Amino acid sequence: MPLTTRRKCGGQGSRLMAVTLREVAQAAGVSTAAVSKVLHGRGGSVRVSEERAVQIRKIAENLEYRPNAVARNLRSSRTHTVGLIFENFWNISGGPLYYLHLLDGIASPLFRSHYRLTILPEIAQDDILASLGDGQLEGVIWCKLPRDPETIDQIGRCPIPIVAMSTPPTAEPSSAVFVSCDNEGGAELAVEHLWSLGHRKILFLRESEESSTPDCVARMDGLARALSRRGSRLDPEDVATWSWGLSEFGSWWDSTPPHTAVLCWSESAAGRLLSQARAHGVDVPGRLSVVGFDSTQYCETTTPTLTAVKQPIFDMARHASETLLSMIRGNRPKYQATTFPCTLDVRGSTAPPSAREEEKS
């Protein structure tokens, strides 16, 4: 049997052309079905002697034949690729470590199972089926999944499994599986801490880009319920929706607001608030206490260090990834929703309100 080397396409500096299954069959003097049987285990009715199989493998090795992964995936409907949907996924290296913990937790189980991860910064919300049902992905982890009825209806018809992370479960039945932290419990911990220090007027701070995300909404609702349990309430003027840079801080502070503390929806927003306060000569925590949400190691690097509600981001992300892999393998999880408890890390950004600030409240 002739042994052939790989072909080159073109002239000088040209690349090697991939050897096809048909060319291996021609070199071996057998059918493509026989080669497919030996090299890929397909074709149950094809009979190939062990001697001929050894010859076919040797020829394929000398020809440097490599299976076409794309074609194989199309035939098997397996791509070993999982999507991560996360809108506003940017400024990853800007200081806060939420994204790094998230990616680490998601990637660890996937990579051990030889799956790839594709990050989708956005999808067509009006046609989710077209975005996710084209066969490129075996499953999706969707961070901050919208909870509107239209989206829930579309994902119910999606052909691949979906795990919604950082999204409290919906009241309506859903085909998605939900993984989130106890946002309301976290807000209660923050209010309990501030209340014990003497704060009675607390501002909830969010950015306009994130104001409708499920976890931001849940934390604001949690603050409102925590205040209600203490005979207080969250009024419209107690919610600030500012730009990402929080440039509105100066005018807000100059208006002499009654608030002596701020609960920021994330550690990133809280870190930027600390910077704005410092730039405007506002002492934290002397004149204003600040609490964030996430509590990664970043909170130890701010000035002052940041008191923050801690959500177990890595554990949540790892659980979301392991759950999705199980769903891809055909196993439906026992529970549709998993909620991780929060804790509170008290650091240097909170203190009792000063006498002047208490007078305002």
Its domain, for residue 50, covers: 21-67
Q: Out of 70-79, 83-92, 111-120, pick the least confident.
A: 70-79
**Same domain flag for 86 and 235:** no
At 233, which CATH number?
Answer: 3.40.50.2300
Per-residue pLDDT for 355 more than 90? no
**Same domain flag for 128 and 261:** no
Per-residue pLDDT for 72 more than 60? no
**Same domain flag for 85 and 139:** yes
**Region 63-89: what's the mean pLDDT?**
70
Closest residue by Cα to residue 344 from 311, 304, 321, 301: 311
Closest residue by Cα to residue 263 from 312, 336, 205, 335: 205
**Region 210-237: what's the mean pLDDT?**
95
Q: Which of 10, 33, 67 is the last residue of a domain?
A: 67
**Same domain flag for 93 and 149:** yes
Residue 4 lies in a domain: no
Residue 133 lies in a domain: yes
Beta bridge partners of 82: 117, 139
- The pLDDT score that the predictor gives to residue 43 is 58
Residue 3 lies in a domain: no
**Same domain flag for 281 and 355:** yes
Q: Which residue has the tokens 């001697």?
A: 51
Q: Which of 67, 101, 125 is the last residue of a domain?
A: 67
**Same domain flag for 39 and 178:** no
Residue 321 lies in a domain: yes
**Same domain flag for 349 and 218:** yes
Q: Tell me the per-residue pLDDT of 146-160, one tens digit each, with 9 for 90 and over.
A: 877 788 888 877 888
Residue 13 lies in a domain: no
In whole angstroms, what is the distance from residue 232 CA to residue 226 CA? 9
Per-residue pLDDT for 359 more than 50? no
**Same domain flag for 187 and 300:** yes
Residue 230 lies in a domain: yes
295 pLDDT tier (thresholds 50, 70, 90):
very high
- The pLDDT score that the predictor gives to residue 7 is 40
Per the prediction, the chain carries an average pLDDT of 86
Name the residue with higher pLDDT: 330 or 305: 305
**Same domain flag for 152 and 249:** no
For residue 40, the Cα-to-chain-centroid distance in whole angstroms is 36
- The pLDDT score that the predictor gives to residue 42 is 61
- The pLDDT score that the predictor gives to residue 14 is 36
Residue 6 lies in a domain: no
**Same domain flag for 335 and 355:** no
Closest residue by Cα to residue 317 from 89, 93, 110, 81: 110
The structure tokens listed for 120 are 């989708």
For residue 108, the Cα-to-chain-centroid distance in whole angstroms is 13
Q: Out of 163-167, 244-248, 346-350, pick the least confident.
A: 163-167
Strand 337-340 versus strand 177-181 pairing type: parallel
Q: Which of 41, 67, 93 is the last residue of a domain?
A: 67
**Same domain flag for 121 and 199:** no
pTM reported for the whole predicted model: 0.77
**Same domain flag for 223 and 352:** yes
Q: Out of 191-195, 210-214, 310-314, pick the least confident.
A: 210-214
Task: Give me the number of domains the chain comprises.
Answer: 3
Residue 62 lies in a domain: yes
Closest residue by Cα to residue 80 from 160, 20, 143: 160
